[in-house]
Every structure is written in C-alpha cells, then in structure tokens.
Amino acid sequence: MSAVHLLVSPNAGRGKAASSVTKVANALRAEGADLVDITGVDAAASSAAAHRAVAEGATRLVVVGGDGLVHLALQAVAQTDVALGVVPVGTGNDFAAALGLPDDPEVAARLALGDPTPLDAIRVGDRWVASVAMAGFSADVNERANRMRFPRGTSRYTLATFRELPGLHHRRLTLTVDGRPHQFEVALVAVGNTSSFGGGMQISPDADPGDGLLDVTVVADIGRIDLLRFFRLVFDGRHLDHPKVHTLRGTEIRIEGDELELWGDGEPVASAPLTLTAVPGALALAR
C-alpha cells in the first residue's frame, strides 16, 4: 500500500483521539499502511500540512477526530482524487454517524483503508461543508459553546442553549432555492448534506449525500418555550411535523439577510449574503 497520511486532533472527544492513536496506528500498519503523520501543533498547522500533502501527491488521508477535523481535511481533499478515511473519536461525530461509520477506532481505522465512495459536499464560496450548515439560533449556540471551557462533551451545548435562549431573536431572510425566492422570519435555518448536527439532532433526516441535493430546514417565528420543545423533537426527526418548520430542497441555496453568520460542521464559514451549492462527488470517502 502506498503512503497513508495521518491527521490527529488530540483534543477531540475529551482526549479520546490522543488515547486512541496507538491503536489506530497499529491497526493501519497491520493492514500494510505506510504511515506519514502530518499532525500539526494546532489547527492552522494541520490545515497547512493537509493541503501540502495533497499538493505533493498524497492518495489517502486518514483523520482521527471529530466533525471539526473532517471539516479541516475536506478543505484540502474536496474535488481531488484523495481518499478520506474517518476514525470518529470526537464529541458529536455527526458526519460519521450519518454515514454509518463505526465508533470503534480500530474497526474504523481498517475501513479507512477501504475503497472510496463518491459523496456530495456543500460549497460556500471557497469553503466546503461535509454535513450541515446552519445560521440563526443554532449558530449562536455553537459560537457560545466554542467559547466555553466547561463543561465538556455534549452537555456544553445543552448549557450553551439555555444561556443563549433569553437572547433569541428572529432574522428576516430570503431563501432562494434553485431560483425560487422564499421569505421567512426565522429562528434558525439549516442546510443539510447529511442528516444531523449537534451530537445527533436529526435536523434534515431525509438528507442524502449521494443525491446531488441539499435539504433545507427552516424554523420560523417560534417562541422560546416552543423552541425548547422543538429541540426535544429534533433528535428523532419528529420536528418536521411542527407547524413552524418548513422544508425545501434544491441544488443551489441563496441566503440573504442581516446579522446572519453561517456555520458548517461546527465551524464558522461565512456571512450572508451567500450561496450554498451541492457538488456531486466532491468527496471520496473510504468506508
């Protein structure tokens, strides 16, 4: 087997990535992989290393971490022939869970050397999103959670939700889906390539990363108490029956509105106005 480039997020999953590295590396080597560890001292260094490896002819990149590391790697491998393998050891692992990747690091490591499957990705300007892009309340929660040091794990997002709730406000926006405009007062809007975000919230339960389409979920002018009820429903997809929820589907989504920051895969991406486009086969995922 040719060289396999390895990228690790040591802080992912409350240190689970760092503690799993030896097992993952041994599993990869047992399958004949010649490992090249390109992990940087921080996210910027790891990003630079991933882009450099792709430019120099890498054929396979295996990431050991969560959705944030998948997002980082995607920026380097999108629309290339580089196969991406994912060993999901982050807190939420929404991308991996949506695609049925195993949470056992050694099993996932062996699958990361398998044949690649072409999958869609979302392009936003010069950025890429693997799973779900969101704006509004959920983006506000994500931003607050990223600033918090404690608690760790998914409970941090629960606490961030309650802290952000008193400041809930609605944004007026225009969503243009494949040329057809729709206007809403929204609490949040999500554009899904895959089904979930936030550690298992099935915001776009019917999203399929192989159909060339993006699933848009709009939560319109909902109140604070109803929004809390909404979040109880979203883990199993029952929120789609809520009267304040609207769904759309298309290949190109234009979002125009004030005070709208788009986050994707749990990372800040861009400010409105912006356009999200489904790009078929942009990612070659080993599985």
Phi, psi of 11 (to 5 degrees): -95, -5
pLDDT(156) > 70: no
- Is 123 contained in some domain? no
- Assign 172 a pLDDT band (cuts: 50, 70, 90): very high
What proportion of the chain, given as a percentage, has pLDDT over 70?
89
Residues 61, 4: Cα–Cα separation, whole Å: 6
Distances in Å between the Cα of 7 and the Cα atoms of 10, 37, 64 are 10, 6, 6
Is position 162 within any domain? yes
Each residue's pLDDT tens digit, 46-105? 999 999 999 999 999 999 999 999 999 999 999 999 999 999 998 779 999 999 999 999
Residues 70 and 178 in one domain: no
Given a contact cutoff of 8 angstroms between Cβ atoms, the answer to whether 140 and 216 are in contact is no
Contact 76, 285 (CB under 8 A): no
The pTM score is 0.91
Same domain, 69 and 151: no
Query: Residue 121 falls within a domain, yes or no?
Result: no
Q: Of 71, 67, 74, give the one whose Cα is nearest residue 89.
A: 67
> Is residue 142 assigned to a domain?
yes
Residue bearing tokens 């944004």: 171
- How far is Cα 109 from Cα 105, in angstroms, rounded to an integer? 6
> Looking at residue 68, which CATH number applies to its domain?
3.40.50.10330
| Alpha-carbon distance values, 45 to 8, 51, 121, 128, 210 (Å) | 12, 10, 24, 18, 31
For residue 192, the model assigns a pLDDT of: 98
Find out whether 108 and 88 touch, Cβ atoms under 8 Å. Answer: yes
Q: In the prediction, which pLDDT does 16 show?
A: 63
Residue 257 has pLDDT above 80, yes or no: yes
Of 114, 137, 157, the one marking the end of a domain is 114
Instruction: Work out how many domains the chain is built from and give that number.
Output: 2
Looking at the fold, whether 56 and 159 belong to one and the same domain comes out as no
Residue 48 belongs to domain spanning:
3-114
Nearest partner of 31 among 91, 123, 106, judged by Cα:
106
- Alpha-helix runs per DSSP H in 112-253: 137-147, 155-164, 224-233
Q: Quick check: helix, strand or coil at residue 70?
A: helix
Which three-class secondary structure state does DSSP give residue 234?
helix
Name residue 166's amino acid: P
CA 201 to CA 114: how far, in whole Å? Answer: 28
Q: Is the peptide bond before 151 cis (omega within 30 degrees of 0)?
A: yes
Asked whether residue 134 falls in the same domain as residue 192, the answer is: yes
| Spatial contact of 73 and 286, defined as CB atoms under 8 Å apart | no
End-of-domain residue from the set 86, 114, 142: 114
From 114, 145, 172, give the residue that closes a domain.
114
Q: Is residue 119 part of a domain?
A: no
Give the residue from 44, 54, 41 showing the smallest Cα distance to 5. 54
Residue 150 CA from chain centroid, whole number: 22
Structural domain contains residue 60: yes
Do 137 and 264 meet the contact criterion of CB atoms below 8 Å apart?
no
Contacts of 235 (CB under 8 A, 6+ apart): 200, 201, 202
Residue 258 has pLDDT above 90, yes or no: no
> Is 26 in the same domain as 81?
yes
